[in-house]
Amino acid sequence: AMALVRSLGSLLCLCALRVPAGPGAAARGPDVASYRERVRAMFYHAYEHYLESAFPYDELRPLTCDGHDTWGSFSLTLIDALDTLLILGNVTEFQRVVTVLQEGVDFDIDVNASVFETNIRVVGGLLSAHLLSKKAGVEVEVGWPCSGPLLRMAEEAARKLLPAFQTPTGMPYGTVNLLHGVNPGETPVTCTAGIGTFIVEFATLSHLTGDPVFEDVARKALKALWKNRSDIGLVGNHIDVVTAKWVAQDAGIGAGVDSYFEYLVKGAILLQDKELMSMFLEYNKAIKNYTKFDDWYLWVQMYKGTVSMPVFQSLEAYWPGLQSLIGDVDNAMRTFLNYYTVWKQFGGLPEFYNIPQGYTVDKREGYPLRPELIESAMYLYRATRDPILLELGRDAVESIEKISKVDCGFATIKDLRDHRLDNRMESFFLAETVKYLYLLFDPDNFIHNDGSDFDVVITPYGECILNAGGYIFNTEAHPIDPAALHCCRKRKEEQWEVEDLMREFYSLQKNKKFPLKQTSDCGEGECAKDPRDASLGGKKRNSKKSSHSLLSCPSQSFNSKLAVLGQVFLDNT
């Protein structure tokens, strides 16, 4: 998912806004229901061939109809595709796979695994499957969601990764041997995303299991990155985790960095954490200042801010989706429309696209069926309901079916210039690409629940509200229910506090008729508030300047009503 980047040349001219691609204002938008069914068929074509020809290997090789291990030996595609099954509504297969995984997957193996990939695909996949298993009709144990076989598997996998975090800086090594820990002589160079992409999974694990070690190491790594940012507020691409020296100094939002920023935002949302959000907002400022040109984001030198590569990377296309989560919908849409023109040119997004030249970059012409642009379309469609976004979905379905469908599955596009295919189907195709496409065409999916439905679960720790929407997708598109984090830990104390308040509540209403008592009660209420106020005020003095909570979105401006079908509005400044 990451690539080392090198500077290519100076930036010539970016101002040329490409001819608006395809006057696509067709009268009727794409037929959502029929595309949804086509996506479903796509999923099963790939999934069934994986089971038939590749299982228990990690991935399917679609041109030779066999399997191979890529990131370990965990039947990775199966783990990754598990929650997609539920999103497609196939509970029986979900249940079957859960048992297959419990019996068949073993992490006590002598395999060198990427810490990053194992976390996002395996730990993330198992966690989300664990949290969704009740919805999928799996019989769960009494302590669920605070215990369960899949949770134990996720925990086991995560514990195998912990040795990588034993470095002087707290930033993890990139690779770990699942049996023996970090190999002697392991390279200390890790990419930024490989350091900052743990908080979502690890904090969830800590909240569910009660063991704080996971969240602690994830936070420590995040803080180490924050400490090592450059004077102008940017981070580079690769860093030495022992000496904390930047090895690759290209700063941008794409390969090597991408999910670090993503997890700052998603961690802030999941944990209601102002500190993470303030870090992101600082980065966001620097990114806007130094890398943003005409709604494109380029690569710059992290210390000087000079442009090093005027390139758009396929992996960068997650950015608009992230922006929409924090309410920057206007900018998100503008950038999305830029990226969409690239898709229209090739029928996919090349790994690198040279913006001034308007063409692919040598050796980076491939499109491994990545999900990022579709992901952004899904988020933006939630926010704007703009039919343009469905058109991107339509284009993606048509392209993938026409170009990469083969007898045994869907093959990576090796070269977008001539649509030559490669013998690979990455596990994220079923985990992410298909999932986001399906969700784009299925506005009523439970994942889009806006809080009008929910489940009440009685756990030994008390009553718990679950599945009320607001799912946070990890960077491999595995949804995490934020409500679940409030189910297990510190549950009792909060419950007692609430119960005390409720008692006061009823008595207070009674006392309303007796003004003497009312004042004293009121004073008590004040007292309860004051200490908290002081502690918050002391800690977050600087953030108070911005007068609004960091954990909020701006409401949309008036002109956003009309910002559909490609129309963009300039700021009213």
Per the annotation, where are the binding residues for Ca(2+)? 475
Asked if 103 and 60 count as a contact pair (C-beta separation under 8 A), the reply is no
37 flagged as catalytic: no
Among 80, 201, 295, 372, the one annotated catalytic: 372
**152 scored as a contact of other proteins (CB under 8 A):** no
Give least dist CB 426 to other proteins, A: 14
Nearer of residues 37 and 242 to other proteins, judged by Cβ: 37
User: Does 540 sit near other proteins (CB under 8 A)?
Assistant: yes
C-alpha angle 329/333/337, rounded to 5°?
175
Closest distance between other proteins and the C-beta of residue 110, in Å? 19
Burial class (CB in 10 A: 0-12, 13-18, 19+), 411: buried
Which among 80, 155, 215, 258 is annotated as catalytic? 258
Determine which residue in the list 397, 434, 440, 477 makes contact with other proteins, applying CB under 8 A: 397
Cβ(334)–Cβ(300) below 8 Å: no
Q: Which is nearer to other proteins, 228 or 556 (CB)?
A: 556
Residue 498 within binding range of other proteins, rule CB under 8 A: yes
| Residue 356: exposure state from Cβ atoms within 10 A (0-12, 13-18, ≥19) | middle
Q: Does 387 bind other proteins (CB under 8 A)?
A: yes
d(CA 52, CA 77): 13
Among 10, 183, 272, 289, binds other proteins (CB under 8 A): 272
> Nearest approach, Cβ of 462 to other proteins (angstroms)?
6
Those residues with Cβ within 8 angstroms of residue 209's Cβ, 6 or more apart along the chain or in another chain: 146, 151, 155, 488
Shorter beta-carbon distance to other proteins: residue 172 or 366: 366
Q: Does 531 bind other proteins (CB under 8 A)?
A: no
C-beta of 91 vs 564, nearer to other proteins: 564
Q: Work out how close the CB of 246 gets to other proteins at its nearest, in angstroms, rounded to a whole number.
A: 30
Q: Which of residues 91 and 465 has its CB atom nearest to other proteins in the complex?
A: 465
Q: Determine if 16 is a binding residue for other proteins (CB under 8 A).
A: no
The residue from 58, 80, 83, 117 that is catalytic is: 117
Size of the site for other proteins (CB under 8 A): 130
The verdict on 466 binding other proteins (CB under 8 A) reads: yes
Residues 6 or more apart in contact with residue 57 via CB below 8 angstroms? 66, 67, 68, 69, 73, 75
**Residue 490 in the binding site for other proteins (CB under 8 A):** no
For residues 231 and 418, which CB has a smaller minimum distance to other proteins in the complex? 418
The angle subtended at Cα 129 by Cα 126 and Cα 131, nearest 5°, is 110
The verdict on whether 156 is a catalytic residue reads no
Could you say which of 4, 12, 16, 25 contacts other proteins (CB under 8 A)?
Answer: 25
Stretch that binds other proteins, among 101-109, 121-129, 158-166, 495-503 (CB under 8 A): 495-503
Is 20 a binding residue for other proteins by CB under 8 A? The answer is yes
Residues 102-131 that bind other proteins (CB under 8 A): none
402 forms part of the interface with other proteins (CB under 8 A): yes
Smallest gap from residue 97 Cβ to other proteins (A): 24
In angstroms, rounded to a whole number, what is the distance separating the alpha carbons of residues 273 and 276? Answer: 6
258 is catalytic: yes
Tokens of 498: 């609430």
Burial 183-222 (b: 16+ CB within 10 A, else e): eeebebbbbbbbbbbbbbbbbbbbbbbeeeebbebbbbbb
CA dist 119 and 109 (Å) reads 16
Residues at the binding site are 475
| Least distance between other proteins and beta carbon 178 (Å) | 22
CB 181 within 8 A of CB 112: no
Q: How far is the CB of 276 from other proteins (least distance, A)?
A: 12
Residue 239 DSSP code: E
Report the SS3 class of residue 309.
Answer: strand
The correct pick among 177, 230, 331, 518 for binding other proteins (CB under 8 A) is 518
Piece of the chain touching other proteins by CB under 8 A; list 125-133, 174-182, 310-318, 517-525: 517-525
> With binding defined as CB under 8 A, does residue 534 bind other proteins?
no
538 binds other proteins (CB under 8 A): no
Q: 298 in helix, strand or coil?
A: coil
How is residue 425 annotated by DSSP?
B
Is there binding between residue 185 and other proteins (CB under 8 A)?
no
- Rank residues 81 and 271 by Cβ distance to other proteins and give the closer one: 271
As a whole number of angstroms, the distance between CA 75 and CA 105 comes to 7
Q: Which of 231, 281, 229, 232 is nearest to 257 (CA)?
A: 229
Is 504 noted as a catalytic residue in this protein? no
Binding to other proteins (CB under 8 A) within 304-323 occurs at: none
- In this structure, what are the phi and psi dihedrals at residue 457, rounded to the nearest 5 degrees? -120, 130
Q: CA of 422: how far to CAs of 403, 409, 416, 426, 551, in Å? A: 12, 12, 11, 11, 43
**Per CB under 8 A, 34 contacts other proteins:** no
Amino acid at 415: D
Write the CB contacts of 440 (distance below 8 Å, at least 6 apart in sequence).
Answer: 374, 377, 378, 381, 389, 390, 393
Residues belonging to the active site:
117, 258, 351, 372
